[in-house]
Amino acid sequence: MVIPDWKDQEWNPEKPESYAGIFHFRFWRFGEWVDVVIDDQLPTVNGLLVYCHSKDSNEFWSALVEKAYAKMCGCYEALDGGNTADALVDFTGGVCEPMDLMENGFKEDEEKRNELFERVLKVHNRGGLISCSIRATTAEDMEARLDCGLVKGHAYGVTDVRRVRLGHGLLAYFKSDKLNMIRMRNPWGQREWNGAWSDSSEEWQRVSMSERQRIGVVVQDDGEFWMTFDDFITHFTDLILCRLINTSYLSFHKTWVEAVMRGSWRVHSDPLLNRAGGCINHKHTFLQNPQVELNRIYRMHATQKKVGGSTYINSRSVFVRIDLPEGRYVIIPTTFDPGLEGDFLLRIFTDVPSVCKELTVDEPPNTCWSGMCGYPSLVTQVYVVEANGLAGQDSDGVSDPYAIIRCEGNKVRSPVCKNTRSPVFDTKGVFYRKRGNKPISIEIYNHNVLKDTFMGQVTLQAEQGEFRQTLHLKGKGDRRENDLPGTVTVEIITSSLLTKI
């Protein structure tokens, strides 16, 4: 995509008259592909290219791409010491995940190390781009060469990732039937790793040429080198995985559903209109930030339990990966400090459609129909925490329970909790109530293949205030006064101020 219609732009010696002296490129910026057109004039000194160049003196694509990227960024100087993750996103439109190899226990924990290798292998096999580096802590460390041959503060490109199965003749020496290997390239084309499995290392001397061909590795003195993944974790400090997220409907691999939201941080004197609230440290303004939720209608005004977040960093983009059960979630994009203005792009990838949207309205609007249909006088948040001692309705003595909260014709259903008589529902519902004297009900059902079975219910008046209760399950209809096995624990907040919750 970076070089569209490259065959039409290639020099054709049979049709020299078709050469126009201009080239067309595309880069991904803020959610869309940006077209960049340049001429064929490249900076040289004494007839040699100044910046990016190829070993082949007749190959110019890399220098032309660099010129186009410099034009988009403003100048060549803007490319000096840039952010690798940002560049990978610009060239692919993918999603970059920066990883700190020092803080996540990869060196000490073999299981974590193996899990990371599987992730790196999957990204590589699915066409993603991978970069790594050794962090330079001082200006003097930048581009400093270590005894092992690696260079600090220098981005290496990962060109291959393999799980190599060794032949029987090599098992005794390497004490393993397989090795996790990774191949990297120094963009300078020189200064390689000189440790185990480097080009002239003892390890390669023990592997015959036929064995090398069998395991699919090639050793050349060209700035490209192999090392074991264990050595990689030992020496490198930072890893960037740039994934090309698979959103295709027809695919043999896992697919994701993407939702794209554009928004802005803007300062306003009215707290209900301010959208630059800063991080959660600023409790009075945090919820004034833009909000995105799956199925909530109105903005959140009371801080709820945090289930995940990213680290604040001075970077163009921030990535967070989190595994969440089915439920309702609010995403709050923020700057660290309040009062900072700017635009942002939020990309959300989920297993199933999230149907997310920005929350812009603080409370139900008061329209001309409100006099006829009524207007809410109360807002109530019902939090179904858990249940205990439920009846075992399945053949194995347990159940697959779920909860339904009902209020004035609206309902919220929890996910099914498998194989338990003491489920943790952890489900909330927010209701804007027109009839405060009408009770709220919480019903518990056992999930079955054909028809779900009723396990009990509780009813709440939900008067104004905050309280927590543990209530015994009751029947319904003519048996609503009968006790049934089990209790439900709920937390209720009710207020006449509709922007309370």
What CATH number corresponds to the domain at position 490?
2.60.40.150
3-class DSSP state for residue 397?
A: coil
Distance CA 367, CA 345 (A): 33
The verdict on 102 and 238 lying in the same domain is: yes
229 and 107 in one domain? Answer: yes
Shared domain for 336 and 419, answered yes or no, is no
Q: Is residue 390 part of a domain?
A: yes
Residue 500 resides in a domain? no
**Number of domains the chain is built from:** 4
One-letter amino acid of 164: V
Strands, E assignment, 306-413: 330-331, 342-350, 357-359, 378-388, 401-407, 410-413
Q: What is the DSSP string of 39-87?
A: ES---EETTEESSS--SSTT--HHHHHHHHHHHHHSSGGGGTT--HHHH
Residues 24 and 137 in one domain: no
**74 and 99 inside one domain:** no
Kindly state whether residues 379 and 357 are assigned to the same domain. Answer: no
pTM score, whole prediction = 0.81
Q: Say if residue 404 is in the same domain as residue 457.
A: yes
Q: What is the CATH number of the domain that holds 148?
A: 3.90.70.10
Is residue 422 classed as helix, strand or coil in its secondary structure?
coil
pLDDT of the residue at 476: 84
* pLDDT at position 87: 92
Residues of the chain with pLDDT under 50: none
Residues 318, 187: Cα–Cα separation, whole Å: 26
Give the residue from 88, 235, 73 showing the smallest Cα distance to 151.
235
User: Is residue 250 one of the residues assigned to a domain?
Assistant: no
Domain with 139, as residue range(s), is 95-243
Contact by Cβ (8 Å): 59, 65: no
Whether 85 is in a domain gets the answer no
Q: Kindly state the DSSP code that residue 146 receives in the 8-state scheme.
A: P
Tokens of 133: 């580096």
Annotated catalytic residue: which of 154, 180, 289, 446? 154
Query: Is 249 part of any domain?
Result: no
Cα gap 254→121, rounded to integer Å: 15
Where residue 222 falls (left for φ over 0; alpha for ψ -120 to 50; beta otherwise) is: alpha
Any alpha helices (H) in 110-208, and if so which ranges? 110-125, 168-174, 202-205
Residue 454 belongs to a domain: yes
Q: Is 186 a catalytic residue?
A: yes
Instruction: Supply φ then ψ for residue 360, to 5 degrees.
Output: -120, -20
Residue 271, in any domain of the structure = yes
Same domain, 184 and 285: no
3-state class (DSSP) for residue 352: coil
Please say if 268 is a catalytic residue: no
Q: What is the Cα–Cα distance from 442 to 491, expressed in whole angstroms?
A: 12
Residues 200 and 126 in one domain: yes
Do 64 and 150 lie in one domain? The reply is no
Q: Is residue 411 part of a domain?
A: yes
Among the three residues 211, 243, 275, which one is the final residue of a domain in this structure? 243
The CA-atom distances, in angstroms, between 438 and each of 370, 435, 495 are: 19, 6, 15
Query: How many Cβ atoms from other residues are within 10 Å of residue 281's Cβ?
Result: 11
* Backbone phi, psi, residue 99, to 5°: -130, 135
The sign one gets for the Cα dihedral 64, 67, 73, 79 is positive
Nearest to 273 by CA among 295, 289, 251: 289
**Sign of the torsion angle spanned by Cα atoms 141, 144, 150, 156:** positive
Residue 179 has a pLDDT of 82
- Considering only CA atoms, which of 415, 438, 408, 414 is closest in space to residue 428? 414
Same domain, 332 and 266: yes
Q: CA-CA distance, 117 to 122, in Å (whole number)?
A: 8
Please report, as a single letter, which amino acid is at residue 206: R
The pLDDT score that the predictor gives to residue 333 is 94
Same domain, 355 and 389: no
Domain end (from 80, 115, 140):
80
**Measured distance CA(361)–CA(298) in Å, rounded:** 5
- Hey, what amino acid is at 174? F
Among 319, 339, 362, the domain boundary falls at 362
What does 459-475 look like in DSSP terms, one character per residue? EE---SEEEEEEEEEE-
User: What per-residue confidence (pLDDT) applies to 172?
Assistant: 54
The residue annotated as part of the active site, out of 124, 180, 186, 274, is 186
